[in-house]
A and B are shown apart, each in its own frame.
Chain A
């Protein structure tokens, strides 16, 4: 349970590329009207930022003959957006970006959809999670912070996170398991707000995605303790003083055996043709080659795994099982 293997990465990136190289011949279909890009989350969050960046890149480099229009449908923890795509059977002019709520929302709320109701297109990247504390706290390493939590009574330390029964709280529950101490989890609406609450000292720590907290780190307001991945991040550009993303140790190496990565993937409605899926896979491959996308990946310290086709489906299958297990154990399943 300690290994949150929502990740089946590694050397699979190379495989994904080979699988894609045979697709261009089939990409005869093209959109004939503007394509709606559904964001099942509010404006300003990680998924929204990525969708709007994609929109910008595609418009700037003229990668699509029609327009891409971003629409936020955040109701019911994103359920509104997914249901909209599910009910648009066979409509190739609609795509949706996903967060972990692809798995957690149906489980936590009972809203009737499953990733199998949609047509998987491609995994664009995986988002990392980092354990942050306020820069004025005395804890310089994850070990020191863990020791402080262990030494104090239950619920002394407050963990801020985005939403309830979603990725941030899942990680918090896993940390509690690993340390054998309870934390007080306080949910907020968005990741940016969580980061500011940490700067203001209203919570003790957060598990913000890199892109949500990087500006506060640059301003030396918060300190990253460890990253919830199996290996350190590869990005070596200096961010704060001499520190870069690559200088953040893994949580496992710091004695906190928790791993979690979040899917940033694209899906289409059910019943679309293979040519239509292939068109978007090709589109996103072109996007990945642009300097703007590379910059976004670097700024947000993303894990750049790309997948499509059967490989992506297999990954989704495995990730769904993982989330079910995690949610069950945490008591987050609806109707419990």
Chain B
């Protein structure tokens, strides 16, 4: 079986290695990086806009172009997170936690190199997994009903609790605000509107991207204005050798990388997606790493963990799309639409009937990521030097880009206003020392978690026992409980040892 896969992959490389296809890869990656840099535009929108252009190509060339846009967007999302604290994509939020502090202390080049390299490692791991065990993995994804999905979300929240430096009470308040915002809009389970107060603009609820652009991007600009209209990372030297220097330090973090790869693949397949994967990987890395206490102040490991996981998840998400016809991410959903137009029916038979297409695609994932890594690494000094532009010039540009981004999400002017409101909220929360991360996590996962919880209870007739009904769901729930209670457990251990130092 695995030998067959390698023979198929060899043929795939032959198809993907065609000069025209390589050219498409380069174009796709560059477009994707631009799309990823512009907040709000997003990979899904970018792919949707360009989809019609591909109808005249062969399906294999078309999907190579579109997936490369997707890889490019995954790479590009990290750039604005690191430089301006504005996550271009939802899965880059966790990258801001340490990436931006690094940039502020003049280490933007290092942070970008780490982010891009980790992205590549994560994606590569996921592709190898797809190559070797695709059918098994598809089988695993089928095990996930509502109860299992809720358990995964529970684990994501639990691995995040207590990780911020702020007091736990403030973390919980912040998370609850997030849940409340996530509840606005249509309740999927009853089909009723909630908390919209007859305002039609609220029908769609609060889009996660609007909240993020406002809370992080606008909030950050407000803070910088207060602190004297200056980027603190201004002193960043442009050093062409920064890539090599950073690479020398990265192998130290192999354990974090591997862990994040596994978390990412798992989240991408189930399909919870790249965003929870990045948060979970960051949370666990902070818990496990011996530098954990320094996370949030510009620790390179805090960039490696979420970026690796996000890319592993983003790549692994392609698998359920191809093998089951269920997209693991919004971008994958748009690609799915493309497959149908090219006359390819995703599903269990795709691997059998369209082997040339599938293996061409998988081979293009290998090549596309290598091409992507080379392209984005060459831009590191260029992007790092953006911070040398005076704040008074760059800030209005950022504001405009944020506004355009917020508008693009739903083509709605109301969202631009909401972004401003979130910006002020972000500023106030930061000033009063409330952590933003739990709020963001609750907005992005609150809805799905609630949905999965209620679907489980509908199925079980209201019995909570459904979350302990089989080995898979029980294991994940147990892991979640351990992760959630870890601060208490750690405190217990240190008490036992008679240790009076601060628990991790």
- Residue B432 CB within 8 A of the other chain: no
On chain B, the residues within 8 Å of A196 by CB distance are 141-142, 324-326
Cross-chain contact B337 with A164 (CB below 8 angstroms): no
- Interface centre among B141, B189, B347, B461, by most chain A C-beta atoms within 10 angstroms, is B347
Interface positions, chain B 138-176, Cβ under 8 Å from A, are 141-146
- Chain A 32-74, CB-CB to B under 8 Å as 1, else 0, gives 0000000000111000110011011001100000010111011
Return the contact of B348 from the options A83, A215, A292 (Cβ within 8 A). A215
Interface positions, chain B 335-391, Cβ under 8 Å from A, are 336-338, 340-341, 343, 345-350
Closest to B457 in A: A186
Cross-chain contact A49 with B203 (CB below 8 angstroms): no
On chain A, the residues within 8 Å of B189 by CB distance are 164, 187
- Residue B478 CB within 8 A of the other chain: no
Cross-chain contact B325 with A164 (CB below 8 angstroms): no
- Residue B68 CB within 8 A of the other chain: no
Closest to A43 in B: B333
Cross-chain contact B327 with A76 (CB below 8 angstroms): no
- Residue B52 CB within 8 A of the other chain: yes
On chain A, the residues within 8 Å of B191 by CB distance are 77, 108-109, 163-166, 169, 187, 332
Distance (whole angstroms) from the CB of B31 to the closest CB of chain A = 18
- Residue A299 CB within 8 A of the other chain: yes
- Residue A79 CB within 8 A of the other chain: yes
Return the contact of B325 from the options A80, A108, A216 (Cβ within 8 A). A216
In the complex, A185→B326 CA distance in Å?
21
In the complex, A108→B193 CA distance in Å?
9
Cross-chain contact A192 with B326 (CB below 8 angstroms): yes
Cross-chain contact B188 with A189 (CB below 8 angstroms): yes
On chain B, the residues within 8 Å of A69 by CB distance are 49
Cross-chain contact A215 with B459 (CB below 8 angstroms): no
Cross-chain contact A111 with B349 (CB below 8 angstroms): no
Closest to A165 in B: B191
- Residue A256 CB within 8 A of the other chain: no
Cross-chain contact B461 with A184 (CB below 8 angstroms): yes
Cross-chain contact B458 with A184 (CB below 8 angstroms): yes
Closest to B52 in A: A59
- With A59-B52, A196-B324 as contacts: A109 and B459 at CB distance below 8 Å: no
- Residue B185 CB within 8 A of the other chain: yes
- Residue B192 CB within 8 A of the other chain: yes
Closest to A77 in B: B186
Cross-chain contact B193 with A164 (CB below 8 angstroms): no
Distance (whole angstroms) from the CB of B83 to the closest CB of chain A = 30
Return the contact of B200 from the options A55, A59, A111, A292 (Cβ within 8 A). A111
Return the contact of A200 from the options B51, B144, B203, B334 (Cβ within 8 A). B144
- Residue B105 CB within 8 A of the other chain: no
Distance (whole angstroms) from the CB of B197 to the closest CB of chain A = 13
- With A44-B337, A59-B55 as contacts: A188 and B455 at CB distance below 8 Å: yes
Cross-chain contact B145 with A200 (CB below 8 angstroms): yes
- Residue A124 CB within 8 A of the other chain: no
- With A74-B204, A184-B458 as contacts: A52 and B51 at CB distance below 8 Å: yes
- With A56-B55, A164-B191, A221-B348 as contacts: A199 and B459 at CB distance below 8 Å: no
Cross-chain contact B345 with A111 (CB below 8 angstroms): no
In the complex, A188→B146 CA distance in Å?
9
On chain B, the residues within 8 Å of A195 by CB distance are 325-326
Cross-chain contact B340 with A49 (CB below 8 angstroms): yes
- Residue B48 CB within 8 A of the other chain: yes
Distance (whole angstroms) from the CB of A165 to the closest CB of chain B = 4
Distance (whole angstroms) from the CB of A266 to the closest CB of chain B = 18
In the complex, A200→B270 CA distance in Å?
12
Cross-chain contact A70 with B324 (CB below 8 angstroms): no
Return the contact of A155 from the options B52, B330, B461 (Cβ within 8 A). B461
Distance (whole angstroms) from the CB of B448 to the closest CB of chain A = 9
Please give the number of chain A residues whose Cβ is less than 8 angstroms from any Cβ of chain B in the complex: 63
Cross-chain contact B349 with A219 (CB below 8 angstroms): yes
- Chain A 161-192, CB-CB to B under 8 Å as 1, else 0, gives 00111100100000000000000111111001
In the complex, A158→B455 CA distance in Å?
11
- With A44-B336, A184-B461, A196-B326 as contacts: A60 and B55 at CB distance below 8 Å: yes
In the complex, A35→B497 CA distance in Å?
70
Closest to A169 in B: B191
- Residue A91 CB within 8 A of the other chain: no
- Residue A295 CB within 8 A of the other chain: yes
In the complex, A125→B341 CA distance in Å?
17
On chain B, the residues within 8 Å of A200 by CB distance are 142-145
Size category, B interface: 35 or more
- Residue B410 CB within 8 A of the other chain: yes
Distance (whole angstroms) from the CB of B79 to the closest CB of chain A = 25
- Residue B190 CB within 8 A of the other chain: yes
Distance (whole angstroms) from the CB of A57 to the closest CB of chain B = 8
- With A76-B193, A215-B346 as contacts: A83 and B337 at CB distance below 8 Å: no
In the complex, A180→B95 CA distance in Å?
55
On chain B, the residues within 8 Å of A158 by CB distance are 459
- Residue B300 CB within 8 A of the other chain: no
- Residue A193 CB within 8 A of the other chain: yes
Interface positions, chain B 408-466, Cβ under 8 Å from A, are 410-411, 451, 455, 458-459, 461
On chain A, the residues within 8 Å of B142 by CB distance are 196, 199-201
In the complex, A79→B204 CA distance in Å?
9
Closest to B196 in A: A76
Distance (whole angstroms) from the CB of B338 to the closest CB of chain A = 8
Closest to A36 in B: B411
Distance (whole angstroms) from the CB of B327 to the closest CB of chain A = 6
Distance (whole angstroms) from the CB of A109 to the closest CB of chain B = 5
On chain A, the residues within 8 Å of B141 by CB distance are 196
- Residue A218 CB within 8 A of the other chain: yes
On chain A, the residues within 8 Å of B49 by CB distance are 69
Closest to A189 in B: B188
Cross-chain contact B204 with A75 (CB below 8 angstroms): yes
Cross-chain contact A292 with B341 (CB below 8 angstroms): yes
Closest to A42 in B: B333
- With A60-B56, A83-B200 as contacts: A43 and B334 at CB distance below 8 Å: yes
- Residue B205 CB within 8 A of the other chain: yes
- Residue A202 CB within 8 A of the other chain: yes
Closest to B324 in A: A196
Cross-chain contact B341 with A52 (CB below 8 angstroms): yes
On chain B, the residues within 8 Å of A197 by CB distance are 145
Cross-chain contact A43 with B337 (CB below 8 angstroms): yes
Cross-chain contact B333 with A44 (CB below 8 angstroms): yes
- Residue B261 CB within 8 A of the other chain: no
A-B contact pairs, 17 of them (CB 8 A): A42-B333, A43-B44, A60-B56, A71-B411, A75-B205, A77-B186, A164-B188, A165-B190, A169-B191, A187-B189, A188-B455, A193-B326, A196-B326, A200-B143, A200-B144, A218-B348, A219-B347
**Interface residues in chain A, defined as those with a beta carbon under 8 Å from any beta carbon in chain B:** 42-44, 48-49, 52-53, 55-56, 59-60, 67, 69-71, 73-77, 79-80, 83, 108-111, 155, 158, 163-166, 169, 184-189, 192-193, 195-197, 199-203, 214-216, 218-221, 292, 295-296, 299, 332, 334
Q: Nearest 8 pairs between A and B by C-beta?
A: A215-B347, A75-B204, A219-B348, A76-B203, A164-B191, A202-B145, A165-B191, A44-B333
**Interface residues in chain B, defined as those with a beta carbon under 8 Å from any beta carbon in chain A:** 44, 48-49, 51-52, 55-56, 141-146, 185-193, 196, 200, 203-205, 324-327, 330, 333-334, 336-338, 340-341, 343, 345-350, 410-411, 451, 455, 458-459, 461
9 extra interface residue pairs, beta carbon distance < 8 Å, beyond A70-B48, A108-B191, A295-B343: A56-B55, A59-B55, A109-B193, A163-B188, A163-B191, A165-B190, A165-B191, A187-B191, A196-B142
